[in-house]
Structure 1
């Protein structure tokens, strides 16, 4: 998932080149100059807001205040404006100039901020600042602080009917909830933004929504939600942006996890072509990254590793620390699957990934996968103590929704016990892993873990458990027995 871009209408500090440096020339008149500078800044900011404000909302506020004051359109127009001009402003058919807006505010006994935003500038700035704080907290890895700021700012935005801030607040709150592993609540927020927004905010929320649905195991809905947003931007310039590529590869990853590797591969191939045309390191990295995931899912580690390395190099050119860390983790996991495993390099990548993820808005699921990957790597080196400690940390800190890393951590504990000769403890861990895995949806990732678990159960002579695990692996890939049909055919002869 990507950091929010500055949106249309989002406040930015006015650029005043040369003006402020002139203040030193006034000497004792500095205070007067400072007041003048502040006033000029307010005017510039209000002018920028006027250019971006919804003219229909502005007209509605002017009409409502005029009615409250008991004024006719002619009385509001005064001598300097025509009644028809005021009528067009109130209907949203005309955007007033800043000079006209100041006149109207004076006759209505209010401020330009009240007309532009529906609230005074101090309250408006407080909401905007709260959203900025939420975004900063997210990128710093403090999901709890981000959630607190986002909730407070969102409440203020909703009370003041500030649609753009409501949109941004719901998105940031969703990201904070996602980072905490609260997928159901995050999905609700992202659905809200997708349903009520347009353009880039809708696209960004669509990416997050599809990703959350995928990570929570609802693969079909992840694909459906992503493709609906994709269809909405198909004939717009947004279709050739980094975010469009990211949405496409998010959908592709859901197809891959569902087992439709052919469609996932076609999507990734198209995404790589689009990303190359964009010449954007971030977009190209996303495409290569997900292409690597698809190859890995097919069992083609040799083909997956170069794609992941390419994505890693591209992300290193930018500043997307969260995705860079996630990719380091993926590279580490791929290296553990190599023949022979490149354990030392894998540990380096996974360690760096965890260190970086702690300081970003990464989810608890990401951190759980870091811990279990490191546990698996240390198990291969024979460092059972480190493997056990990391696996236990994963189980303690991973949210309940992080089923797969919890399963993998439980399996590691079983492997540690088996390596130390405690067959009973190993069998108990493997059986616990099977119970946890039963709650995971049917996809190729689950099938792979079921298969590995079946082999481990055989090693500790739990043949019944192994048989069940092999059957679960087959079921997770969509295979089902046809014995009843064959038996019926035989009996009919």
Structure 2
């Protein structure tokens, strides 16, 4: 008998088990004497059925054999065929999510979780709940994903799925602007992982790198870079291709956001070379998008090579079920590459589609798209239109929390306002950029000193 069933036998309500044995006996058309056989007395079988006795593992296996049922069915109350059907549905939901249909995945997991039998199938239920959270994140419903992941973090045993769940929870907090919570979850999780001596597995390295991203967004770039270096060292030590790719990738992202695209580029290429040897099509596409974005940030940029990489990555992202943020990042980068190549109509179309599509759920990305639309309008000498787009970006960015990405966009907007002769708006954007990084004027500079007599 499996260990999980042995544990369940120790804790199951004897009355519930006895009722299932009685039902199976009547369905099989057997008497208590036939079920007892030579193993126990008829009276003992009667007491088992009435919930007064709990059979040991050997006796339960013998009873199940005589009743022509499985031990699973007696302990879980679910027929093996039904369990197999539920697991098949879960496989279909995983496939739907992996191939870009998170809404379909949500429909399937909702049906699974509505099945009363799932209450008895603890592992299946937990796997289904984790998949539901992933599908919610993929649809952009971060708040519902956070609620689901918070519940799982509290109730799940500390295993590999739990570690991955903590990384997902930290990531969702970060993407929703709750940087403090993202760091808290990641920090507490990594400490617990170290206590359990699980810090050498891929999932633990992924959690460390997710924590690094949150620290970077908060403005602590130096510590984020050190966390990434630790991730690289651990990945190299365990010789894990997936972990190495993640570590180099995250280090590349941080170097890029620090303005060092030239240093980030070889890290990205190394990560891509490692991950292309795996079957992780989704992350290959995401990494190619990142590489394309880096090519646009070089001095001078490489828009032609970037656009080729980005368009191929976009097809793969759509097929593999990438989240809305990944798709929007790719579309904005494509629009920027087209603008640099002189295709203003194509750039405008993609930037407009992105701004419209993510405006309600991802204001930072939408603001970035409006900033690009303003640049296109400046190029075409449509200055009033440019000012309108820049103001749209300001409205969106005003609702975003203070983090490094917001500060960078505020700084870029300040320069763009200067280009359309809006000094007051430029000054306001510079001030907001400073505020987003945590800078503020000391009180001694804000208060007029009293005159001395």
TM-score, normalised on structure 2?
0.89
1:262-311 Cα distance to aligned partner (Å, 9 max, x none)? 21111111110000011111100100111111211221122111111111
Q: Which secondary structure does the structure 1 equivalent of 2:320 belong to?
A: coil
Further displaced range: 296-305 or 153-162:
153-162
Which of 217, 237, 241 is residue 277 of structure 1 equivalent to? 237
The 8 Å contact of residues 322 and 361 in structure 1, kept in 2 or not, is answered as: yes
Counterpart position of 1:153: 112
CA contact (8 A) 2:410 2:429 kept: yes
| Aligned match for 1:407, one of 367, 371, 379 | 367
Report the alpha carbon displacement of residue 421 of structure 1 after superposing the two structures with TM: 1.3
Does the CA-based 8 Å contact 1:119-1:160 persist in structure 2?
A: no
Q: Aligned with 1:150: secondary structure? A: helix
Residues 1:325 and 1:92: Cα distance change in structure 2 (over 3 Å): farther
Q: Which moved more, 1:51-60 or 1:245-254?
A: 51-60
Q: How much has 1:347 moved relative to structure 2?
A: 1.0
Match of 1:349 among 289, 309, 324: 309
Out of 299, 310, 313, which is 1:339 matched to? 299
**1:386 is matched with which residue: 346, 366, 381?**
346
Contact 2:406 2:436 in 1 (8 A): yes
8 Å contact kept, 1:157–1:166: no
* Structure 2 residue corresponding to 1:435, chosen from 381, 395, 400: 395
Written as runs of structure 1 = structure 2, the 5 A alignment for 1:7-406 is: 50-61=1-12, 63-65=14-16, 67-68=18-19, 79-80=38-39, 96-97=57-58, 100-105=59-64, 111-156=70-115, 160-198=119-157, 199-398=159-358, 400-406=360-366
1: CA distance, partners of 2:119 / 2:361: 35
Contact 2:371–2:393 under 8 Å retained in 1: yes
Q: Is the partner of 2:199 in helix, strand or coil? A: helix
C-alpha deviations, 1:325-358, integer Å up to 9, x for none?
1111111111111100111121122212211110
SS of corresponding position for 1:250: helix
For residue 26 of structure 2, what is the aligned residue in structure 1? none
**Alpha-carbon displacement from aligned partner over 1:123-154 (angstroms, at most 9, x marks no partner):** 22222112111101111111111111111112
SS, match of residue 421 in structure 1: coil
Partner of 1:29: none
The change in CA–CA distance for 1:66 and 1:143 in structure 2 (over 3 A counts) is closer
Alpha-carbon deviations, 1:168-192, whole Å to 9, x = none? 1110000111000000001111112
In the alignment, which residue of structure 1 is the partner of 2:25? none
Q: CA deviation at 1:109?
A: 9.2
Is the Cα contact below 8 Å between 2:119 and 2:125 reproduced in 1? no
2: CA distance between counterparts of 1:66 and 1:246? 42
Instruction: Supply the RMSD in Å over aligned alpha carbons.
Output: 2.8
Q: CA deviation at 1:236?
A: 2.9
> Are the structure 2 counterparts of residues 77 and 492 from structure 1 closer, same or farther at C-alpha, using a change threshold of 3 Å?
farther
In structure 1, the gaps of 5 or more residues are 1-49
Match of 1:468 in 2: 428
Alpha-carbon distance between aligned partners in 2 of 1:159 and 1:69, rounded to the nearest angstrom: 17
2: CA distance, partners of 1:66 / 1:308: 57
For these two proteins, the number of residue pairs brought into alignment is 437
CA distance in 2 between counterparts of 1:182 and 1:461 reads: 39
User: For the residues of structure 2 that align with 1:92 and 1:379, how far apart are their CA atoms?
Assistant: 77
- Secondary structure at the counterpart of residue 234 of structure 1: helix
Moved more, 118-127 or 441-450: 118-127
Structure 2 residue matching 1:160: 3-state secondary structure = helix
Q: Which moved more, 1:289-298 or 1:449-458?
A: 289-298
